Amino acid sequence: MGKGFYISKSVGVVAIILGAGALATIIALSVVYSQEKAKNNDNVLPTDGGSTKPPVTTPAPSNNPWDKYRLPKSLVPEIYHVTLWPRLTPDQETKLYIFSGNSTVEFKCVEETDLILIHSNKLNYTTLENNHLARLTSVNGDKAPSITKSWLQPVTQYLVLQLDGKLTKDQHYQLFTEFTGELADDLGGFYRSEYWENGEQKVVATTQMQPTDARKAFPCFDEPAMKAIFHITLIHDAGTVALSNGAEIESMSTGHGLQTTVFEPTPKMSTYLLAFIVSDFGYINNTIDDVSVRIFARKPAIAARQGDYALNITGPILKFFEKYYSSKYPLPKSDQIALPDFNAGAMENWGLITYRETALLYDEEFSSNSNKQRIATIIAHELAHMWFGNLVTLRWWNDLWLNEGFASYVEYLGAHDAEPEWNVKDLIVLSDVHRVFAIDALASSHPLSSKEEDIQKPAQISELFDAISYSKGASVLRMLSDFLTEEVFTLGLQTYLEEFAFKNTVYTDLWKHLQLAVTANGTKLPDTVHNIMNTWVLQMGFPVVTINTTTGVASQEHFLLDPESEVTTPSVFNYQWIVPIKWMKTEIIQTPEWLTEKSATFGKMKVSGDDWVLANLNVVGYYRVNYDMDNWKKLVSALSTNHEAIPVINRAQLVDDAFNLARAKIIPTVLALDTTKYLSKEREYMPWESAVGNLDFFYLMFDRSEVYGPMQDYLRKQVTPLFLYYKSMTDSWTKVPNGHMDQYNQVNAISLACRTGLLECQNLAMGWFKQWMDTGNNTIHPNLRSTVYCNSIAAGGAAEWEFAWSAFKNATIAIEADKLRYALACTKQPWLLNRYLEYTLMPHMIRKQDATSTIVYIANNVIGQSLAWDFVRARWSYIFSEYGGGSFSFSNLINGVTERFSTEFEIQQLRQFKEDNAEVGFGSGTLAVDQSIERTIANMKWIAENKDTVLTWFDDQNKAWY
């Protein structure tokens, strides 16, 4: 639909101007660059690790429009012409990397006004001939009002222009600006990424606009509803490659060692989806039904064929989504590029998707099957956005959950279509549903959809990029698709995309289209889609559904990990949900039911004798399930006698629900532990992964106490049969299991066996690692490298650590570097961990994008936990200024370093940390601080109530074996 559709006469005009006047443009921009150097005192300082500036104090609130964070509704942009020139070498005097450029935005006045507000952040403007920072003209030739005052408003990030008269309603105007900015290494806006190739440092100029950083690249109306057409031109060093959202129209030499590349105008789109990149990268390509697909990366990576897998699956996934959405891919090209420095996993820029190297590049010599799955699901996630998010965009960030939740759901469908033998669709239960349950069961959680007026500042917007938006969003949309049926769900989705193409929506627009599909199909529901789904979207948390099989009564209540925590967030639904229940009775699937009230009686759920009830089949519903004690005992017995009578996903569910119901004091902890007794017979990945994940909580709570030894003994006994099973399957570890899930579970077997001290496992891992150290030949299979590296470094000393550090620094593929970066945190030597912590704040040692996750890896180590916490507290101001603000991983840092907290001393430290840094702030990690305090209190209570019982249970199980 968008192919060639928006090419207008203005494209031709721009091309002519650039052809004739490129040299003049370059000279003009060079003048701007000179001005930039002259006023260096006004620059954003380079991130040199020196002293930080005092925090900017926010002035007292005012009613002035420029003190409000949202744009007025008076002006609507229609077309931008943006020319940018990034410098890939630093200025000799200032040592700054900069970019310069100019922009003309054509906008329509929809309400009379004498004020222009346009977003701008960290840009320096050239004072034009009118002695102001911008020039305003009327498109129809009439005289436009003159600018009387122009200034920058840093707090709300505006360029403000006051006029001597009002702009006329329905008239079109153009605003011209000329500016420079720093091409910093801050991973936001127009920034630089650096890497080494054949001993030479290379620089990439690249972008990350979402959510509010397009304004760091050029002045723009930087809100998702302010869609416009963008004409991008890049001036760049001859021999480098320039890319943007549109296809290249022409690239011409303009002398002085420079080239000018002009791109096709974009479709009508939001600013946060813009991208422009200048690099020395190579690429591979093919064409799928007239769509050009290209994979860009560092030239050695392309030469090593690390982009081949991504290229091979992009076409099939695009075709899958065209069919799923019943809509042609809207653009003529799909470029995907792997960047050495990138904060998120990937970004769905329309037509030019950016990735971390680990999310796009695959090499079977170094990449595990989990790396391969991550690449497939992330590509599917980003391609899903090409329609849902890019073609049709949510009006404001408060509905981010629908954009990201939807892509997080259908990424599994796209990856399944590309790799049908993996059964990857099942893994959403572990990766998303169970993952987000842990956060959404806190009283400090938040609803999926926020009120628009509550999300104003950039930091508030960044805070929404959390597990609730992604994983809960995915989980409730999967539930919706399931109870509607995929046929009805996709029908509503298709008409939604058709009606709102190139426009903006609110989440209820999707509900309306799904309801139309329900009505057309004659689907029977207990209420409207709107009313059912609002119970899941407008209130935080989720229910635990309790089924009493002696009476047939099913009831629901708000599930809280700490039942004594105070819920201060009100709910219009009184924390009651409209719950779809898929269930079975003793292996026979029953007719689904709906729980629409606090409680209801379902006669068929009343059972006797040996019959049992199992609800929430395949965990398609976003809720936990509890039963009367008799039914729990029957289910535990079924696991012990014939575990395959229970579907594999539900075996994982029983373990996860039991452990979390126990933490919430709904069932005894020993009952949860009883669900693990059958594991010595279990060979499937999902139940084992569920058990290992839940027992990780026991490790966090008890690895500093006397419970640790007996727990290790019990788990070693349980995992040994699995370890021997894979030893046999792989012919003494010489082969790779065939199935995707078996490859995953082999990793679980080795990891837990080594962790619990099984000598055969530890000798195996250390033998492989020593062989690598001795010969320089790494024969460890990529699937096993993370766990083998970690266990060998943990068991070893400085020699093993230094060897791994050297391998990390010399790794030629980021996927291998990531495995080593994780394993380096496994050492038991405090001095090495402290050194590693220092490295995290040295970008030449650990890339900025990896700093927060590396600190969390160290905190996950029982030896490193207190070291990491002390480090974060001592360096908070610096970490926040360099890595905080809009960083999506910031909440992960705070949650990660406090995850083990479970003592009075630690809760006092955490509260003191919050108080001490109130002025500095926590940015996108603000909510995580409160969640950490709440979680620590819950942990303290849980240990006090369960430690003795758990110790006795492990002792009793161990005695039974002897």
635, amino acid identity: L
**How many angstroms separate the CA atoms of 860 and 291, rounded?**
45
Residues contacting residue 534 through CB under 8 Å, at least 6 positions apart:
573
**How many angstroms separate the CA atoms of 855 and 884, rounded?**
14
- SS3 string, 582-638, reads CEEECCEECCCEEECCCEEECHHHCCCCCCCEEECHHHCCCCEEEECHHHHHHHHHH
**Tokens in use for 620?**
């398609």
* Conformational region of residue 248, where left means phi above 0, alpha means psi within -120 to 50, and beta covers everything else: beta
Give the SS3 label for residue 836. Answer: helix
Q: What angle do CA 400, 505, 74 make, to 5 degrees?
A: 100
Give the CB-side neighbour count of residue 931, counting CA atoms within 13 A: 26
**Tokens in use for 74?**
């008076």
What's CA 490's distance to the chain center, in Å?
25
Please give the sequence-ordered ranges of beta strands (E in DSSP) within 3-146, or none if there are none: 75-86, 98-109, 113-119, 123-125, 135-138
**How many angstroms separate the CA atoms of 475 and 458, rounded?**
26
What are the distances in angstroms from CA 499 to CA 124, 130, 397, 512, 730?
41, 45, 21, 12, 54
Looking up tokens 């030449």 gives: 844
372 by Cβ neighbours in 10 Å (0-12 / 13-18 / 19+) ranks as: buried
Looking up tokens 């129209």 gives: 249
Q: What is the DSSP letter of 340?
A: S
**Which residues are the active-site residues?**
382
Q: What angle do CA 755, 759, 761 make, to 5 degrees?
A: 65
415 by Cβ neighbours in 10 Å (0-12 / 13-18 / 19+) ranks as: buried
**How many angstroms separate the CA atoms of 194 and 364, rounded?**
25
Closest by alpha carbon to 585, among 617, 606, 614, 627? Answer: 614
**How many angstroms separate the CA atoms of 103 and 84, rounded?**
9
Q: What is the DSSP letter of 470?
A: I
677, amino acid identity: K
DSSP string, 134-189: -EEEETTSSPPPPEEEEEEETTTTEEEEEEEEEEPTT-EEEEEEEEEEE--SSSSE
